[in-house]
Amino acid sequence: MPELPDITVYIEALEHRVLGHVLERVQIAGPSLLRTANPPITAVENRKVMEFRRIGKRIAIGLEDEGSAGERLWLVLHLMIAGRLHWSEKRKTPDGRRILAAFDLDNGTLTLTEAGTRKRASLHLVKGDAELSKLDPGGIDVLQADLGEFSKVLTSENHTLKRALTDPHFFSGIGNAYSDEILHAAQLSPVALTQKLKPEEIQRLLHATQKTLLEWTQRLRDEAGIAPRGNGVAAKQGKFPEKVTAFRPEMAVHGRYGQPCPRCGAKVQRIRYAANETNYCPQCQTGGRLLADRSLSRLLREDWPKTQEELEERVGKSPKSP
Higher-pLDDT residue of 230 and 310 is: 230
**Confidence class of residue 306 from pLDDT cuts 50, 70 and 90?**
low
Asked if 108 contacts 89 with a C-beta cutoff of 8 angstroms, the reply is: yes
Would the pLDDT of 138 be above 50? yes
Q: Which of 66-80, 178-192, 230-244 has the lowest mean pLDDT?
A: 230-244
Q: What is the pLDDT of residue 321?
A: 45
Would the pLDDT of 232 be above 60? no
Percent of the chain scored above 90 by pLDDT? Answer: 79
* Chain center to CA of 187: 23
Inter-axis angle of helices 199-224 and 147-154, nearest 10 = 100
Would the pLDDT of 94 be above 90? yes
Q: How far is CA 64 from CA 21, 41, 55, 289, in A?
A: 11, 15, 19, 56
CATH number of the 4-133 domain: 3.20.190.10
Q: For 251-302, how does the pLDDT look when each residue is reduced to its tens digit (9 = 90+)?
A: 999 999 999 999 999 999 998 876 678 999 999 999 988 875 555 556 665 6
pTM listed for this prediction:
0.90
Would the pLDDT of 241 be above 90? yes
Q: How confident is the model over 142-165, as a mean pLDDT?
A: 97
Would the pLDDT of 131 be above 50? yes
Q: How far apart are CA 182 and CA 205, in angstroms?
A: 7
Q: What is the pLDDT of residue 228?
A: 82
**Confidence class of residue 322 from pLDDT cuts 50, 70 and 90?**
very low
Q: For 25-64, how does the pLDDT look when each residue is reduced to its tens digit (9 = 90+)?
A: 999 999 999 999 999 999 999 999 999 999 999 999 999 9
Beta-carbon contacts of residue 86 (< 8 Å; ≥ 6 apart) = 110, 111, 112, 113, 240, 242
Q: What is the pLDDT of residue 317?
A: 46
Is domain 147-313 given the CATH code 1.10.8.50 in the classification?
A: yes
Q: What is the pLDDT of residue 143?
A: 98
Q: For 97-128, how does the pLDDT look when each residue is reduced to its tens digit (9 = 90+)?
A: 999 999 999 999 999 999 988 899 999 999 99
Q: Is 232 helix (H, G, I), strand (E, B) or coil?
A: coil
The DSSP output letter for 41 is: G
Q: For 171-225, how does the pLDDT look when each residue is reduced to its tens digit (9 = 90+)?
A: 999 999 999 999 999 999 999 999 999 999 999 999 999 999 999 999 999 999 9
Strands 83-88 and 99-105, bridge-based pairing: unpaired
**Domain boundaries in the chain?**
4-133, 147-313
Quickly list DSSP for 298-314.
HHHHHTS-SSHHHHHH-
Q: How confident is the model over 62-85, as a mean pLDDT?
A: 89
Would the pLDDT of 76 be above 80? yes
Q: What is the pLDDT of residue 229?
A: 72
Q: What is the pLDDT of residue 303?
A: 65
Average pLDDT, the chain: 90
Would the pLDDT of 231 be above 70? no
